[in-house]
Chain A
């Protein structure tokens, strides 16, 4: 029990544990949509974009979450708008918007060298420095994003699966995309202090990709991805404590190990989960092929 109980004696660890569990669940949950919408690169790009917003906010003496959040949201909208232009692909749009935004942050840091250390924490994560306010922000964002996913579940599923047809069935695709961009920006901003800008993309992509290997059902994929993310965050924190390795890196390496295990497991079982292994019945209604007129 020492493995579990000893670190809990420290308040910083308890707060870090809670934060990493919540961030893991949050990124695992939202990551399903990001992976299925083939936007994996956006997590990487948007986190860099948010970094630029954080630096601008610092220079203008604005609240970190406010500045980074607004910057990230506007970046996500700009990516969406740019990607809709038929001549520019989504990957190119993400590359342009986010690297330009990151460059703003780097330029401001190089201009004013006095606050470099604060942004090292943003780049690489500083879970041991998680404050009560950080924890509250992570909690609020997790609840808000979970509520969004539950309330918009049907619409998100439809838009993710069939974006061309969903509007024909009355789904307001503009509203869904805007709220999704807001959820992504909020998730990335809330996760920065836990895993850092450089590793957020991994926490968004790896749990959901692992879950995809384990199930062919959308609903189950969200549940499995959320559990993998949360458990990786919690177990990763313990491993980080006992191995004395950076917490963000430990969490991501643990998630990568889970993915590898899922890959090997599903390769050995020919990727056929047990619940879809029954034979498919033939069509109940057979008609002769030559009597249609």
Chain B
């Protein structure tokens, strides 16, 4: 089931907010980039307006993280032109950008308190001074309060819950008041409640004027709720409102898989058709002639690229539908 009239597909993409807006905060112009060997991303044209809240989706190895890293000058081979706030990105760090890494990459046994981690994001303010100033400490305390983890500054990072740990790294990214926040799979490996907390927090930050780009594998529980999504697989396949671009065609081209899109009462659900075919094949092999189709029953679908918990969430969400 595909969305009729999906306007923004590759080659004829509409930009968030439409034409006539001021210069976007981030612009990719005919960019191909990568590391050693073949480029990871090719022919990328993308504009990220100020104040956008944008998700980047695609299969593993599609170039989602590379797209973010290119914005901060952390990709060695770049052809074309990338600008942030009108300034070209080189091979040096881009100023005014906060970066939140995947939590899976963090060494949780490293001896670092919450305050020490957050202050890393402010190292360039007084690079030669080893100790934190009173102003630094006030800023950290105020930011931790704002993010809902006030009072944890002296804690070791391992002692916190998943949501609190994610907020610590958000605080490190925000401590220098960047206008642009980049997050690499911020909801990966966290439970449902933590994921919702993080998304609400990001929505609040976005409402405060911070432009947000995040990568995610979670189509139904994260990407489908974002105002704008970019589908990537070596290049930009499509971008737009998920209501428009989450179609079987576009997602099929993005993931290289047979995906079905279920729409019911304004809710978009992406489901992988493969389990159906597997089930049917197994039933056929075992002489079961019943081939019931459950195209509109999300309990019988697994979300594309989703974890088991996301599939459970999907079913749980549907139980609340009228």
Contact = CB atoms under 8 A, between A and B. Distances in A.
Contacts of B95: 170
Given A168-B93, A289-B196, A292-B196, A275 B154 contact: yes
Contact of A217 (B73, B111, B158): B111
Contact of A287 (B69, B159, B200): B200
Contact of A171 (B123, B199, B320): B123
Contacts of A289: 192-193, 196
B130 A153 contact: yes
B93 A276 contact: no
B150 interface: yes
A291 B196 CA distance: 9
Contacts of B320: 290
A287 B158 CA distance: 24
A4 interface: no
Interface string B41-54: 00000000000000
Contact of B225 (A169, A220, A293): A293
A290 B199 CA distance: 11
A215 B111 contact: yes
B225 A292 contact: yes
Interface residues of B, number: 52
Interface in A190-224: 212, 215-221
B111 A218 contact: yes
Nearest to A284: B148
A268 interface: no
Interface in B69-102: 69, 72-74, 92-93, 95, 97, 99, 101
A239 interface: no
A285 B148 contact: yes
Residue among B117, B130, B149, B158 with most chain A CB within 10 A:
B130
A287 B99 contact: no
A60 interface: no
Contact of A283 (B116, B120, B128, B197): B197
Nearest to A36: B110
A96 to B, nearest CB: 22
A155 B127 contact: yes
A217 B99 contact: no
Contacts of B124: 169-170
A62 interface: no
Interface in B138-180: 145, 148-152, 154-156, 158-161, 163-164
Nearest to B317: A290
A222 to B, nearest CB: 10
Interface in A121-172: 149-151, 153-155, 157-158, 160-162, 164-171
B208 interface: no
Contacts of A284: 145, 148-150
Contacts of A290: 196, 320
B99 A165 contact: yes
A36 B225 CA distance: 40
Contact of A154 (B127, B152, B159): B127
Contacts of A170: 92-93, 95, 124
A50 B225 CA distance: 59
Nearest to B95: A170
Contacts of B151: 281
Given A36-B111, A155-B127, A161-B107, A169 B197 contact: no
A162 B157 CA distance: 14
B273 interface: no
A280 B320 CA distance: 34
A276 B155 contact: yes
Interface string B113-130: 100110111011001111
Contacts of B158: 216
Interface in B299-322: 320
25 contacts: A149-B130, A151-B128, A154-B119, A154-B129, A157-B112, A157-B116, A158-B123, A161-B110, A162-B101, A164-B105, A168-B93, A169-B121, A169-B124, A170-B92, A170-B124, A218-B111, A220-B111, A276-B155, A280-B161, A283-B164, A287-B200, A289-B193, A292-B199, A292-B200, A292-B225
Given A161-B117, A292-B196, 16 more contacts: A36-B110, A157-B116, A158-B123, A166-B120, A169-B123, A169-B124, A217-B156, A220-B111, A276-B156, A280-B152, A280-B159, A280-B164, A287-B196, A287-B197, A289-B193, A289-B196
Q: Which 9 A-B pairs have the closest CB atoms?
A: A153-B130, A216-B156, A154-B123, A170-B93, A285-B148, A289-B196, A284-B148, A168-B72, A158-B120
